[in-house]
Amino acid sequence: MTLIFLGLLAAAWIAVFLPSVMRARQAAPLSTAERFKRRMALLAPRARAGRWIVVPESYDRLARASFQRGQRRRIQILLALLLAALATFAVAFASGGAAWEVHLVSDASLGLYVVLLREAKRRRTERTVKVRTLRGRESREPEEEVRFYEPVQAMGNRSN
């Protein structure tokens, strides 16, 4: 029984820490440098392999990619909480007792997460309604006409 518990504990520990280790490995400077080199190789002209052209990515593309990554992460968290609620319900139904308390906690966390998702969506839609892009500067006529004066002649050269 102790070996099974230790095995489950080790599996849970691996499940918790393995994703963060993988993310840290991807965020390491060496992989970033390699990724940069690969992207520059894609942008470089084929005839002259020694010259690299650096083109920044568009803000819209970066914002869209960031939103999509967040959306995938939110869906994964929602599915994990839903599966946890279903699993704790099955265990509580089969065994009863204190397992119902664990099930209620998992239901509460699922409900809270759904409320937070709805609030975040409401804020996003509110932001898109309120925020509008500024138009470019329009060419305006100057308010007062600019007058140019002739230079004042010296006193001795006046012809009155």
Locate the domains of the chain by residue range: 1-55, 58-130
Q: Name residue 21's amino acid.
A: V
Q: Residues 6 or more apart from 85 whose CB is under 8 A from it?
A: 103, 106, 107, 110
Does 33 score more than 80 pLDDT? no
pLDDT of residue 44: 61
Question: What is the Cα–Cα distance from 119 to 111, expressed in whole angstroms?
Answer: 12
What is the tens place of the pLDDT at every residue in 71-118? 999 999 999 999 999 999 999 999 988 889 999 999 999 999 999 999
Residue 47 has a pLDDT of 53
Whether residue 139 has pLDDT greater than 70: no
Entry pTM: 0.49
